[in-house]
Amino acid sequence: MSDNHDSGLQVRREVMGEAFVDRALNEAPEFSQPMQAFINEHAWGGVWTRDGLPRATRSLITLAALTALKCPHELKGHVRGALNNGCTVEEIRETLLHCAVYAGAPACMQAFRVAQEVIDEYQSQNQ
């Protein structure tokens, strides 16, 4: 494994949480394992480790992209990641609302539903 893979896996665990990453890695069938390695090396190890933006900003950008692409499953994990990175509920809400103008109301409504589910769960576990 490359240094980017190892550092990416560390950042992925810090942002997404140990349980989330363990599930992603352990539940991925053999067919999907190369994709998991690719994500660790290039997304988490190549981009998320860069110094140019704080993690919270990267999280909000990721939420906007996933909203626009209508990826609710990925969005769910990254809402939790944004909260783990210190983003506030208000910042998440404003990011999703901003997407309504550029990505469309249906995509944004779906994102709000997904985000609310994760926020409620996160808040109940961290009270």
- pLDDT tens digit sequence for 1-44: 678 999 999 999 999 999 999 999 999 999 999 999 999 999 99
Q: What CA–CA distance (Å, rounded) separates 22 from 60? A: 23
Nearest to 14 by CA among 83, 91, 67: 83
Q: Could you give the residue range(s) of every CATH 1.20.1290.10 domain in the chain?
A: 54-127
- Contact criterion met (CB below 8 Å) for 21 and 12: yes
What's the pTM value of the predicted model, to 2 decimals?
A: 0.92
CATH of domain 54-127: 1.20.1290.10
Q: Which amino acid would we find at residue 40?
A: N
